[in-house]
Amino acid sequence: MGNINKWLKTNTFHHSSFSDVASIVEEKQKQKLKVSLCIPTLNEEATIGKEIIILKSELMNLQPLLDEIVVIDSGSEDNTTEIAASFGADVYLSKDILPELGEKKGKGENLWKAIYQLEGDIIVYIDADIKNIHPRFVYGLVAPLIFNPTIKYVKAFYDRPLAFSQGIRPSGGGRVTEILIRPLFSLFFPELTAIIQPLSGEYAVRREVLEKIPFPIGYGVETSHLIDVFSLYGLEAFAQTDLDKRVHRNQDTRSLGKMAFRILQTFLFRMGRVGIIDKIPKMTNILRQFQAHDNYFEEVLFEINEEERPPMLKVPQYRKKRKLPQRKKSTEK
């Protein structure tokens, strides 16, 4: 508990501490760092334009904190990509990045391919459905990395009952966080319970960290990141920033059930990887749900496989692009 309490005091920030964006830019330039923003998308035409307009005007044109804004799309059927491109983002289809490795669908796939496509020393991930977008969603996450070289991974949180000068803001945690992730972390990774919103889609990470860890292709990606980075570097590598409030689209309970199923697949696999469980039993990949009708319940089956992409450092194309020496092929039979 002592370690957690100390970390909460030293590594938890409020975005208002970093509102002087010019000072962040000055330190960024002094360190000769590049900062890239990745927005993963799938049918987000209602909000993507506003996000790009605000972040580009405030954090590229007015203050050059961002060196690039990139949208990586999973195959939107609406006008997401056209809108994003028209407002000045660099837009890529996920399937066109590393096409020789095949196409996989999922948010985690987009985040993984961003490591290959983007140039930044720091990569910021922002979800595309934020209705109250503000520059703090970027500078509040980037600043701790720029000002503190020991921090490697910064998570966002919002709407939490923390006391500040304005008083205490009442709120509740996300449903999957509070009924699944927090209990699991409490049982097996208690130090990670210090992360207030572990499933937030907004975070900034050093490239040197992202390229070392595997990426589940779906919703398990945030949970896997926390466990893997914690296993590599410990709690002190993390920080978190309060962004006050995030307004976005809520998912229904059935969708959250599918999300939880993916996260559990990822979590149990990691339990084996870090040695908490000796052998992972064979698990079904079928999620059974029921749809209520007037006089009967319809059984609905979903086949869900939370596959993983390897650490980017193991991808030959990435090593070639980054001018890294190629890995030697194993001679073991």
Q: Which domain holds residue 214?
A: 2-321
- Kindly compute the dihedral angle of the four CA atoms of residues 123, 128, 133, 134, in this order, to the nearest 10 degrees: 10
Q: Are 9 and 1 in contact (CB under 8 A)?
A: no
Nearest by Cα to 145 from 213, 193, 210, 70: 210
Q: Are 291 and 297 in contact (CB under 8 A)?
A: yes
pLDDT digit string, tens, across residues 11-29: 999 999 999 999 999 999 9
- pLDDT at position 201: 93
- pLDDT exceeds 60 at position 169: no
- pLDDT exceeds 60 at position 258: yes
Mapping DSSP to helix (H, G, I), strand (E, B) and coil, where does residue 223 land?
helix
132 within domain boundaries: yes
What DSSP character marks residue 200?
-
Query: Longest C-alpha distance within the chain, in Å?
Result: 68
329 within domain boundaries: no
- pLDDT at position 326: 85
Instruction: Report pTM.
Output: 0.90
- pLDDT at position 162: 38
Q: Are 44 and 128 in contact (CB under 8 A)?
A: yes
331 within domain boundaries: no
- pLDDT at position 243: 95
pLDDT band of residue 32 (cuts 50, 70, 90) is very high
Least confident segment among 9-18, 55-64, 223-232, 263-272 = 263-272
Tally of domains within the chain = 1
327 within domain boundaries: no
248/90 Cα distance (integer angstroms): 23
Cβ neighbors of 24 (< 8 A, separation 6 or more) are 18, 65, 139, 142, 143, 146, 147
267 within domain boundaries: yes
CATH of the domain at 36: 3.90.550.10
pLDDT digit string, tens, across residues 289-299: 888 888 889 88
- pLDDT at position 163: 39
Nearest by Cα to 38 from 81, 72, 73: 72
182 within domain boundaries: yes
333 within domain boundaries: no
326 within domain boundaries: no
